[in-house]
Amino acid sequence: MADRKVRRRTVLDPAVADLLAGMEEKQAESHLPRRIREKKARERAKIRARRDHRVTYDLPPQLKQSVMELADKLSLPASQLATLALLRFLQDYKNNNIDLSKFKKPSSSPRYDWKLIFPKEWFEEEYINTNKKA
Amino acid sequence: MFIFALANQKGGVGKTTTAVTLASGFAQNKKKTLLIDLDPQGHVAFSFGLDKIPGLYRWVVMEEPINSVTVKVREYLDILPGDKRTEKVKRHITLMDFRESVLAEQLRKSKYDVILLDMAPSLDVLHINGLFASDWVIIPTRMDAMAVDGVKEILLTMGEITQRGHSFSGYSILPTFFDRTTRETMTQFQEIVRAFGDRVLPPVPQDTKVREASAFGQTLWEYTNNSPAMTGYQEGKTFAGGYHQVMKRLLEVVDG
């Protein structure tokens, strides 16, 4: 029979494991030079501050790609272009310049009553890069 | 019926606060709960804004029925209060036959879903009785060397009791007064996690609101349900520690 060393695995309560990992990370950090500690603290503060600005939406890949390309071309953050686009949409919607009823179809999701079905050609490169209005 | 004992021979580690908070938590989960004060300080009644009365003395020494000495303090929650006459209970039990199992025998007939025993910080006959009667021992401990030593002492006592024929379903260690910014907390926490693994419950953060609650005769659920001692530490959207999380773990123990 093979001589195998068997070690018992310690299974921790997940909350205890998380807390311990966080504390150990902070302790390890406390031994770093002051400059690096301050830099890490600034990074953490930045991440914390950003938390409220973060959102996840599902977008058609072509649209996502087009926004990224435009952001690259203009050398701007894509988030700011998306912000502008959403602001314009909300203004247009409030001024009754956008009619969603044309695209509305009943949804089978238990969460929503409706879904929006957009014409496929809208997401083709040619369409996105022309002046046609959606 | 499931019996928890809250024990640590070191005083001031949060036994009574934990006992009161967990008892209220079980009651809120519609478990018919009894909290028995085995400590002559009688702080269980005080925590609910009541006067200390010799409930344990009347039950064990005067042999009054349990339903005439318990006090209903909340929906689904009764307490069996104590006061300095609890000391006389110890003397009384010492003279009895099979003295280690007096409490276990008395509790066998009760009809509660959950019973919590708030033990005194000592190692006397009542303490041994409490351990003998319990299915699960919760050992609250501060993250300092003396309190952690108290954990070891309780475990040794539990070992001796097991040798005398009682079997515990298990035990948990509950870090209390947890202050994650100090090095000593970190060191002691690492030690107990290394030694006890999954028996360590999520810690309860240090929180001044806890001291205020007993002064107002309210439980933590009533006085400060959103404070760190209850909700734990927040990291983004997740929480770690606090009595809410501890309660969930213990409900799993009771419900199997």
Chain-wide mean pLDDT for chain A?
86
What distance in Å separates residue B232's CA from the closest CA in chain A? 10
For Cα atoms B168, B169, B170, give the angle at the middle one, nearest 5 degrees.
Answer: 90
What distance in Å separates residue A23's CA from the closest CA in chain B? 7
Provide the residue type at B253 as one letter: V
- pLDDT tens per residue, range B223-236: 999 999 999 998 77
> What is the domain extent for residue A29?
14-50
Domains defined along chain B, listed by start: 2-255 (3.40.50.300)
Q: Which residues contact B207 (CB under 8 A, 6 or more apart)?
A: B224, B227, B228, B229
Residues A83 and A35 occupy one common structural domain: no
Binned at pLDDT 50, 70 and 90, residue B148 comes out as confident
Q: What is the largest CA-CA distance in chain B?
A: 57
Domain count, chain A: 2
Residue A70, in any domain of the structure: yes
Residue A133, in any domain of the structure: no
For the complex shown, is ipTM > 0.85? no
Residue A77, in any domain of the structure: yes
Residue A95, in any domain of the structure: yes
Residues A19 and A72 occupy one common structural domain: no
Residues A67 and A120 occupy one common structural domain: yes
Residue A4, in any domain of the structure: no
Kindly state the DSSP code that residue B115 receives in the 8-state scheme. Answer: E
Residues A118 and A73 occupy one common structural domain: yes
Cβ–Cβ contact A27 with B under 8 A: yes
| Pair B4, B115: CB distance under 8 Å | yes
Per-position b or e across B114-146, b if 16+ CB within 10 A of its CB: bbbbbbbbeeebbbbbbbbbbbbbbbbbbbbee
CB contact under 8 A, B202 and A16: yes
Q: What percentage of chain B has pLDDT greater than the value 70?
A: 100
Residues A76 and A39 occupy one common structural domain: no
- pLDDT tens per residue, range B100-115: 888 998 898 888 999 9
Residues A78 and A101 occupy one common structural domain: yes
Q: What percentage of chain A has pLDDT greater than the value 70?
A: 90
Q: Report the C-alpha gap between B212 and B215 in whole angstroms.
A: 5
Residue A89, in any domain of the structure: yes
Tell which of B192, B198, B243 to mutate to test the A interface (max A CBs under 10 Å).
B198
Q: Report the C-alpha gap between B243 and B249 in whole angstroms.
A: 10
Evaluated on CA atoms B87, B91, B96, B100, the torsion sign reads: positive
Interface of B with A (CB under 8 A): 180, 183, 186, 189-190, 193-194, 197-198, 200-203, 232-233, 235-236, 238-241, 245, 249
| Pair B50, B73: CB distance under 8 Å | yes
Binned at pLDDT 50, 70 and 90, residue B42 comes out as very high
**Which contacts of A86-94 are long-range, i.e. CB under 8 A and separated by 24 or more positions?**
none
Q: Report the C-alpha gap between B28 and B244 in whole angstroms.
A: 12
Residues A20 and A65 occupy one common structural domain: no
Cβ–Cβ contact A22 with B under 8 A: yes
Residues A81 and A103 occupy one common structural domain: yes
